[in-house]
C-alpha cells in the first residue's frame, strides 16, 4: 500500500523540526537529547513509518553486524550442515552462545562465486573443518576474527578441536580391557568415492583414514592395541562414508572372526548393529561395537551404542565464545569421553 520512497533520517528531522544530527542522536545516543525533543522525533518517525536508522547505512559507519557466520566443511551446502547429525549438534552449541549474546546465526557455504566468506555480512567466522588453511584467507583479509574447527592451525589462528587420538585410544582400550583380541575397524572416507577395503598384513599409511582427525583416531586405536600386544596392521579396515549402508555388510564379511568393531562414526556403528542383527548375531554377546561421536540416536539404537563423546556441542559453544569475546588467539583441545552403553561386553567366543 505504501509505495512512497523509504523515509530517511533527514525526512524525520525535517518533520520534527530539528537538525539531522539531533535526529540521529535521538535514536543512537538518546541520553544526549532531552526527552522533549526525543519525543518530537519519535512522533515524526512514527508518522512517517520510519523504523530507525537504516542498518545498512549504520553498518558503513562502524560495522557491527550482530551476527556470526558458520562456514560448513568442504562442499557442504546449508541443507547438508543442517542434516548431518553431528554437525547439527555443533551448530546447536554455537546457537546457544548466539542466544546468550543476542546475535544472529548465519550459515555461509564456502561458495566460489557470489556470496561466501568474502562478502558475508557477519562479525566473524567459524570454519567448520577446512581443507586448506587458505580457505580462511578472505576472513583474514577482511580483518574479521575467525576460528578453525577440528584442526590445529598454528599459533596465529584460533582453533577448537577434540583430542581424537585420545578418543580412539579410549574406545579401543575399553574393548581390550573387556578381553577382545580380534577387531575390525570402520574408518572414515571423506568426500566422494567408493568404499575401500584395507586387508590385514598390508602396511597402511594415513590414507586409510580420511582427515587428520580420523588419522588421529586410528593412531589412538593403534596405541591401545599395541599396549595389549596387538598390531593394528593385522586388523582389517573398511573405509566408507558414514551413510554407506553397504559398508557394514562389507565389514562383517571381511572380519568374520572379529569379536569387536571400532567405528569412527556413530552412524556407521549403528549400521553395524543393524547388520549384525540382520545376520542373527546378538550384540554384545557375539559382537561388541563402539562408535565415535555422541548423538541422540546412539542412546536409542538397539542395543544402545557404546560410543566416544566427541563434544560437538561444546566445541560449538567454545568456538562461538572465542569470536564474541574478541580476545587473543586461543587454541583449545577438548578431551573426549567414553560413554559405555549396551553394545559392548566381554567376547563370548574369545
The cell numbers describing 200, all together, are 590385514
Total number of residues that touch DNA (CB under 7 A):
28
- In the chain, the N- to C-terminal Cα span, in Å, equals 79
Gyration radius from the chain CA atoms: 27
Contact characters 259-288, DNA, x per CB under 7 A = ------------------------------
Question: Counting contacts by CB under 8 A, is residue 327 touching a second copy?
Answer: no
Per CB under 7 A, contacts with DNA among 21-50 are: 21-22, 24-25, 27-29, 31-34, 37
The cell numbers describing 205, all together, are 599409511
Question: Counting contacts by CB under 8 A, is residue 31 touching a second copy?
Answer: no
Question: Counting contacts by CB under 8 A, is residue 328 touching a second copy?
Answer: no
CA distances (Å), 229 to each of 164, 178, 344, in order? 22, 15, 21
d(CA 118, CA 48): 36
Decide if 32 contacts 25 (C-beta within 8 A). Answer: yes
> Judged by CB under 7 A, which stretch of 19-27, 68-76, 192-200, 261-269 contacts DNA?
19-27
The only residue of 19, 92, 104, 282 in contact with DNA, by rule CB under 7 A = 19
Per CB under 7 A, contacts with DNA among 56-75 are: 56-58, 60-62
Edge-to-edge strand list for the sheet holding 237-240: 196-198, 237-240, 183-188, 260-263, 288-292, 306-309, 337-339
Question: Counting contacts by CB under 7 A, is residue 299 touching DNA?
Answer: no
Residue 168 binds which of a second copy, DNA, none (CB < 5-8 A, kind-dependent) = none
Phi, psi of 147, rounded to the nearest 5 degrees: -135, 145
Question: Smallest Cα–Cα separation from 341: which of 309, 288, 305, 300?
Answer: 305
d(CA 181, CA 169): 15
Residues at the interface with DNA (CB under 7 A): 5-6, 8-10, 18-22, 24-25, 27-29, 31-34, 37, 53-54, 56-58, 60-62
Residues at the interface with a second copy (CB under 8 A): 1-2, 6, 49-52, 55-60, 63, 65-67, 69, 77-79, 81-83, 88, 91-92, 95-96, 98-99, 102-109, 111, 113-115, 118-121, 138, 140-143, 156, 300
Amino acid at each position: 500500500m505504501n509505495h512512497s520512497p523509504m523515509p530517511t533520517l533527514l525526512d524525520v528531522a525535517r518533520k520534527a523540526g530539528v537538525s539531522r544530527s539531533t535526529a540521529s542522536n535521538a535514536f543512537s545516543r538518546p541520553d544526549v537529547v532531552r526527552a522533549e525533543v526525543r519525543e518530537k522525533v519519535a512522533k515524526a518517525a512514527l508518522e512517517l513509518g520510519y523504523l530507525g536508522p537504516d542498518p545498512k547505512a549504520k553498518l558503513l559507519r562502524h560495522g557491527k553486524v550482530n551476527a556470526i557466520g558458520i562456514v560448513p566443511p568442504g562442499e557442504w551446502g546449508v541443507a547438508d550442515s543442517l542434516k548431518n547429525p553431528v554437525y547439527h549438534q555443533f551448530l546447536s552449541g554455537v546457537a546457544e552462545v548466539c542466544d546468550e549474546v543476542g546475535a544472529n546465526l548465519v550459515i555461509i557455504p564456502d561458495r566460489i562465486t557470489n556470496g561466501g566468506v568474502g562478502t558475508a555480512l557477519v562479525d566473524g567466522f567459524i570454519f567448520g573443518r577446512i581443507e586448506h588453511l587458505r580457505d580462511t584467507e578472505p576472513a583474514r583479509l577482511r580483518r574479521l576474527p575467525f576460528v578453525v574447527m577440528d584442526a590445529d592451525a598454528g599459533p596465529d589462528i584460533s582453533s577448537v578441536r577434540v583430542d581424537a587420538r585420545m578418543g580412539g585410544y579410549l574406545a579401543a582400550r575399553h574393548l581390550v580391557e573387556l578381553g577382545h583380541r580380534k577387531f575390525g575397524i570402520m574408518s572414515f572416507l571423506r568426500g566422494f568415492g567408493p568404499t575401500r577395503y584395507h586387508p590385514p598384513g598390508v602396511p597402511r599409511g594415513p590414507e586409510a583414514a580420511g582427515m587428520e582427525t580420523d588419522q588421529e583416531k586410528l593412531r589412538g586405536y593403534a596405541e591401545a592395541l599395541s599396549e595389549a600386544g596387538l598390531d593394528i596392521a593385522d586388523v582389517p579396515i573398511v573405509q566408507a562414508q558414514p551413510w554407506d549402508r553397504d559398508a557394514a555388510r562389507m565389514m562383517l564379511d571381511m572380519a568374520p572372526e572379529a569379536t569387536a568393531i571400532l567405528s569412527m562414526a556413530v552412524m556407521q556403528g549403528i549400521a553395524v548393529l543393524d547388520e549384525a542383527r540382520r545376520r542373527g548375531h546378538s550384540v554384545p554377546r557375539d559382537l561388541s561395537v563402539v562408535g565415535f561421536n555422541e548423538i541422540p540416536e546412539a542412546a536409542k539404537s538397539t542395543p544402545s551404542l557404546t560410543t566416544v563423546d566427541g563434544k560437538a556441542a561444546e566445541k560449538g559453544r567454545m568456538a562461538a565464545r572465542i569470536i564474541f569475546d574478541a580476545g587473543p588467539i586461543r587454541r583449545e583441545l577438548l578431551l573426549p569421553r567414553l560413554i559405555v552403553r549396551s553394545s559392548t561386553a566381554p567376547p563370548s567366543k574369545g
